[in-house]
Amino acid sequence: MNPRTAECSRATRETDVTVSLTLDGTGEASIATGIGFLDHLLTALALHGGMTLDAKVTGDLHVDDHHTVEDVALALGTALDRALGDRRGITRFGSAYAPLDEALARAVIDLSGRPFARIELGLRRERLGQLSCENIPHALASFATAARITLHVDVLAGENDHHRAEAAFKAVALALRDAVRRTADDGIPSTKGSLT
């Protein structure tokens, strides 16, 4: 089996991002975005998704966290798209629930080749550490767009916003792990014959 790995570099006047992704990885992550809570969420994504993920970022955090969050998510989504290739021999669909204490999140993924995201986290705080709460669903939506996947994420219960956000990323990780899983069939899992 060929290793499913990819890199993506994205450099603008606002950020300089390099992401390296191995889908069939070890769960290890080396993340340095300059935003601690974003690093925490991406580390959870790698661990529970069974991926190896490296992300090195320099961003204009003196402005705010938006450009960094968005560009990391776009680079990660692009790396996922590249690692999947023509999406031959994959399960394609994945879904998962993930609890974190009182919080419960659900994620449903289709590696469809068609970007769409519906993200409902119900976060109430303005920030978690240095990460603006409005940028957490934006990160997931940007990731889905660049990865060319359909992604539905909602948090069904929870009082603590840290728990709600982390449960959401863990649910995405588990659903993604299921969707990218290789099957015995080397075909394209689509009646159209293409997921590109």
Which structural domain, as residue segments, surrounds residue 76? 5-179
Indicate the pTM of the whole model: 0.95
Note whether residue 17 is domain-resident: yes
- Pick from 86-90, 156-160, 180-184, 185-189 the range whose average pLDDT is largest: 156-160
Average pLDDT over every residue of 49-69: 97
Note whether residue 108 is domain-resident: yes
**Predicted pLDDT of residue 194:** 67
**Predicted pLDDT of residue 183:** 86
**Predicted pLDDT of residue 158:** 98
Residue/partner pairs of 139-144 with CB below 8 Å, 24 or more apart: 139/38, 139/41, 139/69, 139/70, 139/72, 139/73, 140/73, 140/168, 140/172, 141/117, 142/69, 142/70, 142/73, 142/74, 142/77, 143/73, 143/74, 143/76, 143/77, 143/80, 144/77, 144/115, 144/116, 144/117
Average pLDDT over every residue of 3-17: 96
| CATH code for the domain in which residue 161 is found | 3.30.230.40
pLDDT digit string (tens) for 123-162? 999 999 999 999 999 999 999 999 999 999 999 999 999 9
User: Is residue 2 pLDDT above 80, yes or no?
Assistant: no
Count of domains for the chain: 1
**Predicted pLDDT of residue 136:** 98
Note whether residue 146 is domain-resident: yes
Note whether residue 89 is domain-resident: yes
Give the confidence band of 168 by pLDDT, cuts at 50, 70, 90. Answer: very high
Average pLDDT, the chain: 95
